[in-house]
């Protein structure tokens, strides 16, 4: 599968993903991996509306996404994988999906998080998951938009 970029973004598809990242990376498919959104018709409809014209969209639960990736279902496409949190990506990796790099783009502020960057807020569980992903050899970066410098996420933690 031609996974061009893997992004954590609490908003899933919005202006930065739909306009900046898809055009910058010449994406042909956005794969939203999110159990909640995949099970909710209203969420899926909103994501379809946010997806740019000419870009295919898949909104899948973790298990289905892992199966599709491993089976090479989208090998001829340029895919941007988007999830809300690192836990989802760890589940993909644990199911056999090979990821080389993950970009934490936007993890929103909540009562349970603390900031490590202007747009990246983490919980203790997020930190533990990032450490596990890093130990698996996955490069972790923080980058909000394409023209911003990539920062080593592990140094921020």
* DSSP conformation class of 52: P
**Could you tell me the pLDDT band of residue 19, with boundaries at 50, 70 and 90?**
confident
Residue 1 has pLDDT above 60, yes or no: no
Angstrom distance (rounded) from CA 71 to CA 66:
8
pLDDT at 17 (0 to 100) = 86
pLDDT at 147 (0 to 100) = 92
Angstrom distance (rounded) from CA 8 to CA 105:
6
- Strands 101-106, 79-83: pairing kind: unpaired
* Span 102-120, pLDDT tens digits: 999 999 999 999 999 999 9
pLDDT at 102 (0 to 100) = 98
Domain containing 120 — which CATH number?
Answer: 3.40.35.10
Name 3's bridge partners: 79
- For 27, the domain range is 3-155
Global pTM exceeds 0.75: yes
Q: Are 138 and 100 in contact (CB under 8 A)?
A: yes
Angstrom distance (rounded) from CA 62 to CA 55:
21
What is the average pLDDT across 16-32? 93
Of 86, 74, 93, nearest in space to 124 by CA? 86
Please tell me the total count of domains within the chain: 1
Q: Are 138 and 154 in contact (CB under 8 A)?
A: no
Q: Are 51 and 45 in contact (CB under 8 A)?
A: no
């Amino acid at each position: 599968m031609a996974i061009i970029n893997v992004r954590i973004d609490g908003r899933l598809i919005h202006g930065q993903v739909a306009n900046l990242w898809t055009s910058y990376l010449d994406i042909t498919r956005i794969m939203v991996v999110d159990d909640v959104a995949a099970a909710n018709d209203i969420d899926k409809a909103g994501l379809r509306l946010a997806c740019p014209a000419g870009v295919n969209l898949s909104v899948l639960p973790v298990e289905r996404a892992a199966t599709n990736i491993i089976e090479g279902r989208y090998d001829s496409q340029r895919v941007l994988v988007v999830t809300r949190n690192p836990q989802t990506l760890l589940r993909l990796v644990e199911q056999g999906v090979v990821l080389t790099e993950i970009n934490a783009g936007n993890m929103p502020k909540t009562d349970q998080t603390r900031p490590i960057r202007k747009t990246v807020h983490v919980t203790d569980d997020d930190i533990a998951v990032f450490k596990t992903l890093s130990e698996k050899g996955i490069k972790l970066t923080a980058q909000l938009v394409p023209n911003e410098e990539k920062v080593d996420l592990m140094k921020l933690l």
